[in-house]
Structure 1
Amino acid sequence: MATHILAIDTATEACSVALWRDGEIFTQYAVSPREHTRKILPMVEQCLINAQLNLQHIDVLAFGRGPGSFTGVRIAVGIAQGLAFGADLPMIGISSLLTMAQGAYRQSGVEKVLVAIDARMGEIYSACYQLKPDGFWQGEETEAVLKPEQFLTKINGLSGQWAIAGTGWSAYPILRTTNLNLLESSIYLPDAQDMLLLALQAWQKGKTVKVEEAQPVYLRNEVSWKKLLGR
């Protein structure tokens, strides 16, 4: 039986939608700060049109649960809940950081990935992931909001070659002073196409939630009002 997955992410400056139609992928992606609310639904519609499907054909709806911009994460959760409620779909929340690790792996084939997104206020959203032999990632427990110096100390306890992803590496050059062998990627922001395989794995294991159970993940309670105004 064919599996159809719709994924949306607006957690950062990037706004993206992707659709899995039994292995075939349809995507829409744009870096468009402050325009997510206007763009996301037309992008969903375009993906459905390109795949020759409608929302009733979708089996599960995946959303970027964060961390990221407070407003961006709320948009993703709210839009996803609205779509899922209207079509009676189960939902899967995918970490924005893990999505980026999947993207770096897709690009480089490196099974160890360090993710750092500029969280402003002198901090980064960070995580260290490793791909297990069974095809699942480990490391979601490492997701944290840290000072760059704290993350540097953390990763200096690792070894070997690691792919890197996220805006944090350019925002805080101190991270590059690590003794690790770093492999560059062009994954700076989450892309919904990299949520699809993660969502498929979760779907196959029955790890879905009801619409009312879908929750954002901010990693920190303090919200930068300067950041909110800047969105």
Structure 2
Amino acid sequence: MHILHIESSSKNCSVSLGTNGKLNSLCEEISLDFKHNEKLHTFVEWALEGAEIELKDLHAVSVGKGPGSYTGLRIGVASAKGFCFGNDIPLLSINSLYSLAFPFFHLEYDFIIPVMDARRMEVYTCVYDPTGNEVESTHPHVLAKSSFEKYRDKKILFVGDAVEKTQSFFRDLDPNLQNFFTYELSYPSAKNMIEASFQKYNSKQWEDVAYFDPLYLKEWK
């Protein structure tokens, strides 16, 4: 069973092919100027070639639903919908913050907090426990003195493209927090969607292809 995964919410244009819930092929590139519209379909072709299958062999398409770049999300979701309509297959979606946190589940951290840049002092964030359960749901958050206050005596991993901003903020707020907080610069990757997409497909948690919209969180201007 083959699922195509598309993650375009950040500077990382990422495409993977999962077969029976395992990574089959991966093609991705971090582009500082967001050239996703130029690269995405080429990456899809390469991922299919790497897996030695064709579009007609797909059972579903899974897309990173955001939050993240407005333009990146539009490109990814439009492409995913096109593949689903063209092949009459289900659409799945995975939270892009989950894809950020996924590689760090079941490690030594008390909580994993993905932080994606939302400009100025704002981030898109949520909170996961070590097993991947969502403790706080996805939301935009302005960094302030009270930010993540109830987690400050825990061992925390911040992961995402807003870690430098977050680290700088907490360093200025209280240098002692560096004894508890760890930071990992990272971007959502399609390879981290495979397990969750496989589970969603098997439980038929499919999106409505016609009406599905990305998780923008904020109005685009």
Which category describes the TM-score, using the shorter chain as reference length?
0.7 to 0.9
Letter in 2 for 1:79: S
Other-structure match for 2:211:
213
CA RMSD of aligned residues (A): 2.1
Q: Is the 8 A contact 1:105 1:111 kept in 2?
A: no
**Runs of 5+ unmatched residues, structure 1:** 225-231
Counterpart-to-counterpart distance in 2, 1:206 and 1:112: 29
Other-structure match for 2:18:
20
- 131, 143, 165: which is aligned to 2:138? 143
Q: Deviations over 1:150-186 (max 9, x none)?
A: xx62422024222221122202411454477223334
**Alpha-carbon spacing, 1:24–1:99, altered in 2? closer, same or farther (3 Å):** closer
Q: Is the 8 A contact 2:163 2:184 kept in 1?
A: no
Other-structure match for 2:191:
193
Asked whether 1:166 is paired with 2:165, we answer no
Letter in 1 for 2:154: G
The offset of 1:101, in angstroms, is 0.8
Farther-moved stretch of structure 1 (15-24 vs 63-72): 15-24
Counterpart-to-counterpart distance in 1, 2:13 and 2:104: 18
The offset of 1:105, in angstroms, is 3.1
The offset of 1:104, in angstroms, is 3.2
In percent, how many aligned pairs have the same letter?
25
Letter in 2 for 1:121: R
Other-structure match for 2:59:
59
- TM-score computed with the length of structure 1 as normaliser: 0.84
Secondary structure of residue in 1 paired with 2:76:
helix
Length, aligned pairs only: 213
The offset of 1:117, in angstroms, is 1.1
Other-structure match for 1:42:
42
More helix by share: 1
Map residues 87-106 of structure 1 onto 2, 5 A cutoff.
Answer: 87-105=87-105
**Alpha-carbon spacing, 1:117–1:175, altered in 2? closer, same or farther (3 Å):** farther
The offset of 1:94, in angstroms, is 1.0
Counterpart-to-counterpart distance in 2, 1:220 and 1:204: 32
- TM-score computed with the length of structure 2 as normaliser: 0.87
Q: Is the 8 A contact 2:37 2:75 kept in 1?
A: yes
**Runs of 5+ unmatched residues, structure 2:** none
Secondary structure of residue in 2 paired with 1:212:
coil
The offset of 1:63, in angstroms, is 0.4
Other-structure match for 2:113:
114
**Alpha-carbon spacing, 1:93–1:180, altered in 2? closer, same or farther (3 Å):** farther
